Chain A
Amino acid sequence: MAQNALPDWQEMQQQLLKGWMDATRSVGANDGLRAWQQAMGGGSANDTVEKLVGGAKQFTDFMQGVFSQMGGGAADAFSPAAIRKAVEQGFSSMAPGNPVLDALRSVNHEGARGFEALFGEWQKQAGPIKQELQSLLSLPAFGYARESQERAQALVRAVAEYQEQNNRYNELMMKATRIGFDRFESKLAERSEPGREISHFRALYDVYIDAAEEGYADVALSDEFREVYGAMVNAQMRVRQLVQADVERQTAALGMPGRSELDTVHQRLHELRRRVAALEEGVRNPSSQVDSKAPAEAPVPAKAAAPAKSRASAKPTTPARTRTPPKPVVKAAVKTAQPAKRSK
C-alpha cells in the first residue's frame, strides 16, 4: 500500500479514522457498548445481547488495531505485514495477547461452559483448602493422619498435573494464534493483487476470521492436540474425583449420604425397573423371548402438556461402582410367565 500512501489519500484516511471513531464512540466503542448493553436491561434477549457485545468488542478491537496503523502515516503502513502487526497489537489486551484463547474463553456463558470454567468453579470451592494442602506436599506422611495426608498430597500432585496439562493446551492455542496470523498475512498478500483488494472493514474482518479459524483447525486436528486435549481433560477429571472422594468422606463422617451411596441406589433401582418391566412385557406377550426392557407404564394416551423441563446440572460424583450395568437376568421368568389380563 506504500504506493497508495499519497498525501491526499492519507488525509482522507485521517478523516475516515476520525469519522469511524466518532461513530463507534457514540454506541460502538467498548465503553459505549457496555452502556448500550446496560440500557437493554433484562429480557428474553439478554444472553444474546451479551454475546453481541462480546462480538462487537472483538470487532472494534480489530478495527482500532487497523486504524492505529492507518493513523501512523508510514509509507509501508498498509503492507500485509504491517496490517498483521497492527491487528496483533489491537488484540494485545486479550488473554495473554491470544485471540484463540480469548475466543475459547468467551464461549463460556449462559448455556455453554467449558473445561476451564468447570475447573474455575471447583477452584472457588477448593481454593482455601488448596493453599493448606500445598504446605503439606513436602512433609513426610506418618502417624494417625498418614492416610489423610497422603490423600492431600495426591490431590496437590493432581492439581499440579492438571495445571501442567492446561499449560500445554494453552501453548497449543498460542501456536494456533501464530498460525492464524501467518495465514492472515498470506491472505492479505493474495488480496494485494489488482482487482482483489479489500474495500470495506467487515470484509477485512472476515478475512481475519477465516485465517484465525484455519489456524485453529490446523492445530485442533493435529495428533499433538489430540494427545494434549485428552491429557488435559483426564487430568482435570482426576482432580475432581479426588475432591469428590474427599467430600464424600467428610459427609459420611457426618452421617450424610454421598454420591456413591446415591449411585448405588440409582443403579439398583434401574436394574429393578428393567427386571420388572421385562416381566410385565413377558406377561403381556408370553410368546416373546424378550429379555430386555419394557415400559413400567403401559402405553396410555397422554396429556398434551409438554414434559416439565428439568435442567439440574450434573453434580460431581464419585466413581461409579459398576461401569457396565449388569444384564437383567429375567429370561427364565419371561418364559414361564403366565398370560394374564392386562390391568386397565
Chain B
Amino acid sequence: MGPLKFDPKAVLDEAARYSQKLTNGAQVLRQLDDVHYGATEKEAVYREDKLVLYRFQGDKPPRNKTPVLIVYALVNRPFMTDLQADRSLVRNLLAQGEDVYLIDWGYPDAADRCLSLDDYINGYIRRCVDVVARRHGLKAINILGICQGGAFSVCFASIYPEKVKNLITMVTPVDFHTPDNMLSHWTQAMDIDLFVDTLGNVPGDLMNWCYLTLKPFRLNHQKYVGLVDILDDKAELENFLRMEKWIFDSPNQAGQAFREFIKDFYQANKLIEGGLSIGDKPVDTKKITMPVLNIYAEQDHLVPPTASIPLKNIVGTKDYTVLAFKGGHIGIYVSGRAQREVAPTIHQWLSARA
C-alpha cells in the first residue's frame, strides 16, 4: 500500500472549494477597509523623547489599588496586548478590575542610536515607574514585563526592588543558551560590534526577516495557503490583516541597546551566568524578593519554554508562581484560550497579593 488514499470526488471538491474561495475572496478583498490595532481608549500621561506612557480607560473604575505597568519589548509594537476589542489582554485586565499602564517606546531613528540599556532601564522605565507610583501615591507598583520587556523588568526589579510590588513576566527569556533557542544560536558567531557599527540602528525589516526565517515554510508559505480558507470571510480576513499589520510594523532597534542586549544576554547569558550590569548598576536577581508570576507559552518558537522556566532558579523570592499557557508566542495574547485564561490568572494572582 502507498501513502495516498485519495477519493477522487473528495479531491475534486477540494479543488473546487479552493477555486471558489479565491473567486469569492477577490470580492471580499476589494471591500476591505484599512485595519487598525489598539482598541481600548487610553490617555497619554507622560512623554519623553519618543516614549509615551499610556493609561488605559476601562468601562468601570479599577478595583485593585496598585496599578500594573506593562513593559513591552523594543521589537514590534506593544499593541499586541490590545490588538482588537475581542482579543485584548489590556481590555481583559481592565474588565477584571486592574488599572493598566503601558510604555509605548515609539520608533527610534538615527539620532537615537546611542540609546543604551542604561537609558532604557535606569532611565525610561525607572521614570515611568516613578510617574505611575506618584500618580497613585505609592512607593511600588506592579510590573508586567513581556518578552524582551520581561528581561528588562527582571533587571529593573533586581536594581530597584523597592519600586516593584509584584513582578509578572510573560514569554520572557532568561536562559539564552538552551539548545532549542534558534535565534540565540544564530547570534553566537556574529561580531555584534561590527554589525552595529556598520548598520547603526538595526532595521526592523531585518529583525522581521530573522523571525520569519525561524520557520520559513510555515510562516511564509503554509500560512498564506491557509489564508485561502478564510478569504471569503470578511471578519476573519480583517483579523488576519490586523495581525499582519502588527507583525510587519517593527521599529528599528537603537544600535547601542541592541549591541548590549545581544552581547550580554544572548552571547554571554549573563542573567544566568552572572556579571550583568545595566550602566553602572549591577543586576543581582536574588534581590527579586517580591512575588513573581512567570507565564510562558508551551509552543513558543521565539522564546522556548526552556528559556523562561529557569527564572525560578535565579530569583530570591519565596513566592513564585508559574503558568504554562497552551499556545504560542502570539497566541498567548490573541487566542480564545488566552482571553479566558491569562488576564483572570493575572488578576487573581495580583488580588491575592494586593
A residues with CB within 8 A of B: 1-4, 12-13, 15-16, 19-20, 23-24, 26-28, 36, 39-41, 43-45, 47-49, 51-52, 54-56, 58-59, 78-80, 83, 99-100, 103-104, 106-108, 110-115, 117-118, 188-194, 197-202, 204-206, 209, 212-213, 216-217, 220-221, 225-227, 229-231, 233-234, 237-238, 240-241, 244, 259, 262-263, 266-267, 269-270, 274, 291-297, 299-307, 309-320, 323-325, 327
Q: How far is the CB of A175 from chain B (nearest CB, A)?
A: 15
Cross-interface CB contact of B221 among A16, A26, A103, A266, cutoff 8 Å:
A103
CB contacts (< 8 Å) of A204 on chain B: these are 4
- Whether B348 is near chain A, meaning CB under 8 Å from some CB there, is no
Give B251's nearest chain A residue, CB to CB. A311
Q: How far is the CB of A284 from chain B (nearest CB, A)?
A: 11
CB contacts (< 8 Å) of B12 on chain A: these are 15-16, 19-20, 23
B residues with CB within 8 A of A: 1-8, 10-12, 14-16, 18-19, 22-23, 26, 29-30, 32-35, 38, 42-48, 50, 52, 104, 106-107, 109-111, 113-116, 118-119, 122-123, 126-127, 131, 179-180, 182, 185-186, 188-191, 193-206, 208-210, 212-225, 227-228, 231, 237, 240-241, 244, 247-252, 255-256, 259, 279-281
CB contacts (< 8 Å) of A99 on chain B: these are 217
Chain A at the B interface: SS class:
helix
CB contacts (< 8 Å) of A106 on chain B: these are 220-221
Cross-interface CB contact of B224 among A52, A213, A237, A313, cutoff 8 Å:
A52
Docked complex Cα distance between A213 and B209 (Å) = 16
Is there contact, CB below 8 Å, between A28 and B19? yes
Docked complex Cα distance between A305 and B38 (Å) = 13
Docked complex Cα distance between A305 and B48 (Å) = 14
CB contacts (< 8 Å) of A12 on chain B: these are 8
Q: How far is the CB of B341 from chain A (nearest CB, A)?
A: 28
A-B contact pairs, 9 of them (CB 8 A): A1-B4, A15-B8, A40-B26, A111-B208, A192-B1, A300-B47, A310-B109, A311-B252, A314-B203
Cross-interface CB contact of B206 among A54, A118, A191, cutoff 8 Å:
A118
Q: How far is the CB of B59 from chain A (nearest CB, A)?
A: 18
Docked complex Cα distance between A144 and B126 (Å) = 56
Q: How far is the CB of B306 from chain A (nearest CB, A)?
A: 13
CB contacts (< 8 Å) of A108 on chain B: these are 209
Is there contact, CB below 8 Å, between B199 and A19? no
Q: How far is the CB of A216 from chain B (nearest CB, A)?
A: 6
Docked complex Cα distance between A39 and B201 (Å) = 38
CB contacts (< 8 Å) of A294 on chain B: these are 123, 127
Give B214's nearest chain A residue, CB to CB. A220
CB contacts (< 8 Å) of B180 on chain A: these are 221
Give B38's nearest chain A residue, CB to CB. A306
Is there contact, CB below 8 Å, between A51 and B3? no
Is there contact, CB below 8 Å, between B7 and A199? yes
Q: How far is the CB of B232 from chain A (nearest CB, A)?
A: 13
Cross-interface CB contact of A52 among B116, B182, B228, B280, cutoff 8 Å:
B228
Is there contact, CB below 8 Å, between A188 and B32? no
Q: How far is the CB of B46 from chain A (nearest CB, A)?
A: 5
Docked complex Cα distance between A172 and B48 (Å) = 46
Cross-interface CB contact of B212 among A107, A270, A312, cutoff 8 Å:
A107
Cross-interface CB contact of B179 among A79, A221, A233, cutoff 8 Å:
A221
Is there contact, CB below 8 Å, between A27 and B248? no
Is there contact, CB below 8 Å, between A293 and B29? no
Using A45-B32, A213-B215 as known contacts, say yes or no to A24 and B4 having CB atoms under 8 A apart: no
Q: How far is the CB of B157 from chain A (nearest CB, A)?
A: 17
Give B106's nearest chain A residue, CB to CB. A307
Docked complex Cα distance between A193 and B251 (Å) = 49
Is there contact, CB below 8 Å, between B216 and A104? yes
CB contacts (< 8 Å) of A230 on chain B: these are 186, 188-191
CB contacts (< 8 Å) of A300 on chain B: these are 46-47
Using A114-B206, A201-B11, A202-B14 as known contacts, say yes or no to A78 and B228 having CB atoms under 8 A apart: no
Q: How far is the CB of B85 from chain A (nearest CB, A)?
A: 18
Give A270's nearest chain B residue, CB to CB. B114
CB contacts (< 8 Å) of A266 on chain B: these are 110-111, 113-114
Is there contact, CB below 8 Å, between B8 and A13? yes
Is there contact, CB below 8 Å, between A4 and B48? no
Docked complex Cα distance between A201 and B14 (Å) = 8
Q: How far is the CB of A45 from chain B (nearest CB, A)?
A: 5
Give B186's nearest chain A residue, CB to CB. A229
Is there contact, CB below 8 Å, between A112 and B248? yes
CB contacts (< 8 Å) of B247 on chain A: these are 111
CB contacts (< 8 Å) of B107 on chain A: these are 307, 309-311
Give A320's nearest chain B residue, CB to CB. B197
Cross-interface CB contact of B5 among A36, A199, A205, cutoff 8 Å:
A199
Using A201-B14, A292-B118, A300-B47 as known contacts, say yes or no to A317 and B197 having CB atoms under 8 A apart: yes
Is there contact, CB below 8 Å, between A198 and B205? no
Using A216-B217, A313-B252 as known contacts, say yes or no to A238 and B14 having CB atoms under 8 A apart: no
Q: How far is the CB of B262 from chain A (nearest CB, A)?
A: 12
Cross-interface CB contact of B222 among A110, A206, A296, A306, cutoff 8 Å:
A206
Using A292-B122, A313-B205 as known contacts, say yes or no to A26 and B19 having CB atoms under 8 A apart: yes
Give A259's nearest chain B residue, CB to CB. B200
Cross-interface CB contact of A103 among B194, B220, B227, B241, cutoff 8 Å:
B220
Using A1-B2, A306-B52 as known contacts, say yes or no to A209 and B206 having CB atoms under 8 A apart: no
CB contacts (< 8 Å) of B19 on chain A: these are 23-24, 26-28
Is there contact, CB below 8 Å, between B197 and A307? no
Docked complex Cα distance between A296 and B106 (Å) = 17
Cross-interface CB contact of A299 among B15, B46, B110, cutoff 8 Å:
B46
Give A118's nearest chain B residue, CB to CB. B206
Is there contact, CB below 8 Å, between B189 and A241? no
Docked complex Cα distance between A213 and B216 (Å) = 7
Is there contact, CB below 8 Å, between A43 and B220? no
Docked complex Cα distance between A84 and B126 (Å) = 57
Docked complex Cα distance between A317 and B3 (Å) = 55
Is there contact, CB below 8 Å, between B209 and A107? yes
Cross-interface CB contact of A24 among B7, B15, B47, B118, cutoff 8 Å:
B15
Cross-interface CB contact of A199 among B6, B34, B43, cutoff 8 Å:
B6
